[in-house]
Amino acid sequence: MRGNLTPRLLILCAGAVLVAAPAVGQTSYGYGVSQPETTSAALARYVRTLASDPRDFGALIGAGKAALELGDTQAAAGFFARADEVNSRSPLPQAGMGAVSVANGEAQAAMPYFTRAQQLGAPAATIGCDRGLAYDLLGQQAKAQADYRAALTGPDATEARRRLALSLAISGDQASALQALAPLSAKGDSAAGRVRAFVLALTGDSRGAMVAIDAAMPGSWSRVSPFLQKLPTLQPGQKAAAVNLGIFPDSGAPALAANTVASPYSASSVGTNRLASIDELLQSPPATSAAPAEQPSWQPAAATAQLAYAPPVRRPTPSVQPAVNGRKVWLQLASGPNAEALPEQFRRMKSRNRTLFDGISGYVARSPDRARLVIGPFRANSDAEIFQEDLQSVGIDAFSWTNSDSDRIVPLGTE
């Protein structure tokens, strides 16, 4: 589903600025495009479509995939969640949410999404690349490799082959790993050299790995050397996180590379202003003028997830009630068929932004086909919009939601 993420890891290890070429694809996004297209251009195209039709399912899925490829997991989650609102019987939104969880290093949280996607008809060939990485992160390399092999016949075949090579190396099988990588090397895949270096490092050949990385990225071996030498000492799941996602153990706790370095995509290639509010875009009426409306350009989210946050004085505090009756205004933070996953999602949000969530309680809103994680209720839409802006400032996408009389809303943990 996504292009190679290895450059992000090399930025972290080398302490240098590495700008990767924008991802391009001829069939990844489909949707009427016959020529190769940069990921950022694809995303801009989907955003234009959604400005006219906020419920265009194909555009929502395409935008989610493009945002994920650009490294903006929060935006991707927003697009996939909205797609699930439009068509909850399609496996694509669930597969997308699983991929988002994997990209965030949350392998266990990803599994229910993949299970649901498969129940809705998704074949292993379409979810195997991302579910395989989830298994790798959990240290279950045999299951990971089975999924990657299934994905070799699907739309993510190239990425699945890279991940298969890395997984085989994590298992200690250097010969099979290099053999799996050989077809990509033969056709000049731009990432094959870096993957080969990691394969060698993972299987204990640090010297060969340094030669390989210097061939792929001349002059980089001295900066990357400490990382390559440490790779063999990690646990299998840690190895998978390091070489695939840039998550490297630091003092016993995982450190996410994306939180400490800029995106590998240059601002010039994707625009200068990040889309401020997906919900605002999708709720806005389509332009009626004959002239095309100017749409916001897109930039991958900056790495701000761990920044300290001081809430503005204007922030309203939603009222807290033991039970909720009647129609109210809420902010939805997440949704899906698995209500059991919502408390952990809310706990992670609060732990990363304690000041912002001080005094804020979560609720579960149950509808016939899904469960929603919401906060509130708010007195008016304007109050909800203020807090929505505060959440966006720390990278959390939320959108306003008004419950119906049939929705059952209870405090989180009491459902």
Contacts (Cβ under 8 Å, ≥6 apart) of 156: 1, 126, 128, 129, 130
User: Tell me, what's the pLDDT at 189?
Assistant: 85
pLDDT at 414 (0 to 100) = 66
Per-residue CA distances from 348 to 287, 352, 359 (Å): 38, 6, 15
- Last residue of a domain, which of 228, 247, 266? 247
- The CATH number that applies at residue 37 is 1.25.40.10
Does residue 314 lie within any of the structural domains? no
Task: Report, in angstroms and rounded to the nearest whole number, the Rg of the chain calculated over CA atoms.
Answer: 22
How many domains is the chain partitioned into structurally? Answer: 2
CA distances (Å), 289 to each of 45, 253, 286, in order?
Answer: 18, 53, 9
What is the number of H-type helices and E-type strands within the chain? 18, 9
Question: In terms of Cα–Cα distance, which of 122, 152, 144, 306 is closest to 241?
Answer: 144
**139 and 17 belong to one structural domain:** yes
210 and 333 share one domain: no
What pLDDT is recorded for position 35? 56
Assess contact for 375 and 363: CB atoms under 8 A: yes
Asked if residue 306 belongs to a domain, the reply is no
Instruction: Give the pLDDT confidence score for residue 344 in this predicted structure.
Output: 87
Regions of the chain short of the pLDDT cut 70: 1-35, 221, 250-325, 414-415
Fill in the DSSP letter of residue 369.
T
Domain assignment present for residue 169? The answer is yes
Let me know whether 222 and 364 are in one domain.
no
Based on the fold, state whether residues 72 and 162 are members of the same structural domain. yes
323 lies in a domain? no
Q: Is residue 99 situated within a structural domain?
A: yes
Q: What is the pLDDT of residue 381?
A: 79
Q: pTM for the complete prediction?
A: 0.60
Q: Could you tell me the residue range of the domain that residue 242 belongs to?
A: 6-247
The last residue of a domain, from among 191, 218, 247: 247
Does 1 reside within a domain?
Answer: no
Classify burial at 335, counting beta carbons within 10 Å of its beta carbon; exposed 0-12, middle 13-18, buried 19 or more: buried
The amino acid occupying position 33 is: V
Q: Is residue 362 part of a domain?
A: yes
pLDDT computed for residue 324 by the predictor: 58
Tell me, yes or no, whether 239 and 334 share the same domain. Answer: no
Write out the DSSP string of 249-287: EETTEEEEGGGTS--SS-HHHH-SS--S-HHHHHHSPPP
Query: Can you give the length of the chain in residues?
Result: 415
What's residue 277's pLDDT? 43
* 93 and 184 together in one domain: yes
What's the pLDDT score for residue 129? 97
